[in-house]
Structure 1
Amino acid sequence: MDDSPVDAAEVMTEQRALAQLPVVLALAEAGKLRVSAATRKPSAATVKLLAENLPGGDFYASEAISAFAWPLLLQAGGLADGPRMQLTPRGRAALRKDPALTVKLLWERWLKAGIIDEFSRVDGIKGQRASNVLSALRPRRQLAAEGLSLLGTDEWTATDDLFTQMQHEGMDPVIQRSDMRLWKLYIVDPEYGSIGYDGMHDWDVLQGRYVLALFFEYAATLGLIDVRYTSPVGARGDYADRWGGDFLPSLSRYDGLLAVRLTPLGRLCTG
């Protein structure tokens, strides 16, 4: 996993997103983008191409976040379809539209019908593919997205403070389908590292990681939130004292997200 930037970086995402969207649409129109027919996830070549061509680049040099998210967002928004990511009539119309309106559409459609479970990108937590382990995705995603309503446009909110506020407001995007299913999730080892043990399934580790994934990979890519972040390696110590935690440099690629701030575009898109 990439370990840059060493120091905290701040990225103002609104203009970045409004510049990136037309580039992604143009690459799709030119037939340059590919996704898996089975999973609809972008190919490695597509991720590399986007990372090299997105205005402002990706958040990390060697860890795909926006380059992974854009093809999924276009598909969820009905702008592109099929393994070759052909633009739909809506996608071709988006080339001529105000990109801010298209971003609003993409966020609304992602909340209703996002292509993947964002939690699947939290690589350090295994066992997610076992049957009936994870909670229903759409209500969980919408509940997590409500956390944006706690943000202001004039000041940064530390992610840990956001977690505390979300819990206080009852915004609890529970990951597991039932408490018994927690035993199927684990870190490193399915027996000794099971998340079912007391003290292994704190809010920050499960719900918090889901919020980080949704906010960093999708809300920030779309320009809804500015982000202050650092290397994910060692950025959060909330898992390190768990069995197997010392084997992992981070629990997810999103661990370095330190603080967020709503953008004017984010205010428009969240009402």
Structure 2
Amino acid sequence: MAVAQDVDATTDRSSGVDGLAVRLTAREAQANTLAVLQLCAAGKLRCSEKTQRPGTATVAAVAGVLLGGDFYLTEPIAAFAWPLLVQAGGLAEIAGGRLALTARGRAALAKPAAETIRQLWRRWVSHAVLDEMSRIETIKGQRSARALTAAGPRRKAVAAALATCPPGEWVEVDTLFARIRRGGPPFTVARDVWKLYIEDLQYGSLGYDGFHDWSLLEGRYLLCLLFEYAGTLGLFDLTCGDPVDACDDFRGNWGADDLDFLSRYDGLHAVRMNTLGAYVFGLADRYEPEQDGAEAGPALKVLPSLDIVVVGEVQPADELFLNAYGQRTSDRVWALSIRSLMAAIDAGRPAEDLRRFLGDRADHDLPATVTRLFEDVAARAGQLRDLGLARVVECADKATAALLVSDRKLRSLCSLMGERHIAVPVQHEADFRAALRKLGYAMPPSRA
């Protein structure tokens, strides 16, 4: 099946495939970093607690906010990678089946995206959620015992090889293969190649002579890591096309007749390390954005009526952020109110984040009505504080309650509520019960 995509440039490939698209990924990746973090903050992404992989609905949700869309319409690459990358980077964790931002993830929302991307790549190299080879589903038997080499050293070898690519220079994939085989750190994918096969273990085993050359195993692994993770993070600009018939090195294998391509990454034609990649790989001290003709982030108008108006194109990350704090009244307008800000605070989104967001993007000072709204909301929110969960203990009389809360060991573990009730924070319950027994009391289990 052909994989549809937008075409920005046309180039010939040695195999005769044309209609290749050039993707300048650095700007896209920085916008996508923030958009995916906003999706996590909104609780819209689900991943398996067992495998940590995103489900179909989550992949679709991520694809819907990617600037420029995924690389292909029907073969998820970036949309699959992002939920894994934020987990590996410690920016999000699975809680109740959903991805939730960690403290590090919340902090990343206020940091330059390039800095976050550098951390994500480094963490992926050392703490990847999966073996990228598993994404080449047509090569079966990978889960057999000792079929593959350890993914960690293999990944680090490929990352080291990618770091040697000359910044700003387009390199065709075949040339990159040759360079890595000639001078890059050596790595292998298969520990026992006879356990890997296409379609049928007996007839389609890759162990037969001529059925497992470097491009088919090591090359496909490299393409996946390069395309799905380094490309998604915006370290390399990509020239890619339809993977159907882009490579023919697997055609002689038994069972390959019905395959349109061996991997979804077969359409990658050439790569170019950009300035973001040079920064991430340590080849530049700081990130200097390339001028690609794209406008900077859209400015905002904050009106005295408490409306926020986006001037220019609405970016996915900004749209998700504004949705968390205001009510959308038109394509480019969000209305703020005490109720909408209180709802955001209740969901764990500080109002100060919105104030900072508006201050950074608006080309004018905030109107007095908006400043008063923030002051009012801050005052109301400051009147209540969540102290966490507690077990409520009822005493027979107020004398017993007073005795317990004044005890030298118990007084730091509980607090008096009214005359006969004591609140015990759940994290202190075990210590409270132990100290209670030493005092000559016991608390029977709850009958609720």
Q: Same fold (TM over 0.5)?
A: yes
Q: Deviations over 1:165-216 (max 9, x none)?
A: 0010143320112xxx111100111111100011111000000000000000
Query: SS at 1:150's partner residue?
Result: coil
Query: SS at 2:272's partner residue?
Result: strand
Decide whether the 8 Å contact of 1:2 with 1:63 is kept in 2: no
Unpaired segments of 5 or more residues in structure 2?
6-17, 283-448
For 2:217 and 2:140, the matched residues in 1 are separated by: 12
Query: SS at 1:245's partner residue?
Result: coil
For 1:146 and 1:231, the matched residues in 2 are separated by: 28
Is the alpha carbon distance of 1:170 and 1:55 closer, same or farther for their aligned partners in structure 2, counting shifts above 3 Å?
closer
Deviates more, 1:184-193 or 1:65-74: 184-193
Decide whether the 8 Å contact of 2:141 with 2:196 is kept in 1: yes
Residue in 1 that maps onto 2:133 = 119
Residue in 2 that maps onto 1:64 = 76
2:281 is the alignment partner of 1:260: no
1:33 to 21, 38, 45: 45
User: 1:257: how far off?
Assistant: 0.4
2:216 is the alignment partner of 1:205: yes
The share of aligned pairs that are identical, in percent, is 49
Larger radius of gyration: 2
Paired AA for residue 129 in structure 1: R
Residue in 1 that maps onto 2:100 = 86
Structure with the higher strand share, 1 or 2? 2
Residue in 2 that maps onto 1:251 = 262
User: 1:3: how far off?
Assistant: 1.8
Residue in 2 that maps onto 1:22 = 34
Give the alignment of 1:132-211 within 5 angstroms.
132-177=146-191, 181-211=192-222
Paired AA for residue 137 in structure 1: A
For 1:151 and 1:56, the matched residues in 2 are separated by: 25
Paired AA for residue 117 in structure 1: D
User: 1:123: how far off?
Assistant: 1.5
Residue in 2 that maps onto 1:3 = 3
Q: Deviations over 1:12-67 (max 9, x none)?
A: 00000001110000010011111001000011111001111111110001111000
1:51 to 63, 70, 76: 63
Report how many aligned residue pairs link the two structures. 268
Paired AA for residue 232 in structure 2: T
2:25 is the alignment partner of 1:13: yes
Decide whether the 8 Å contact of 1:140 with 1:175 is kept in 2: yes
Moved over 3 A (4+): none
Paired AA for residue 125 in structure 2: L
Give the alignment of 1:95-110 within 5 angstroms.
95-110=109-124
For 1:111 and 1:56, the matched residues in 2 are separated by: 26
Q: Deviations over 1:226-256 (max 9, x none)?
A: 1101111110011111222222111001000
Paired AA for residue 3 in structure 1: V
User: 1:147: how far off?
Assistant: 2.3
User: 1:100: how far off?
Assistant: 0.4
Decide whether the 8 Å contact of 1:172 with 1:207 is kept in 2: no
Residue in 1 that maps onto 2:241 = 230
Higher relative contact order, structure no. (Cα contacts within 8 Å, ≥ 6 residues apart)? 1
For 2:257 and 2:161, the matched residues in 1 are separated by: 30
Decide whether the 8 Å contact of 1:150 with 1:165 is kept in 2: no
User: 1:95: how far off?
Assistant: 0.4
Query: SS at 1:108's partner residue?
Result: helix
Query: SS at 2:117's partner residue?
Result: helix
1:218 to 229, 241, 256: 229
Unpaired segments of 5 or more residues in structure 1?
none
For 2:243 and 2:164, the matched residues in 1 are separated by: 24
Decide whether the 8 Å contact of 1:150 with 1:162 is kept in 2: no
Paired AA for residue 81 in structure 2: A
Paired AA for residue 32 in structure 1: K
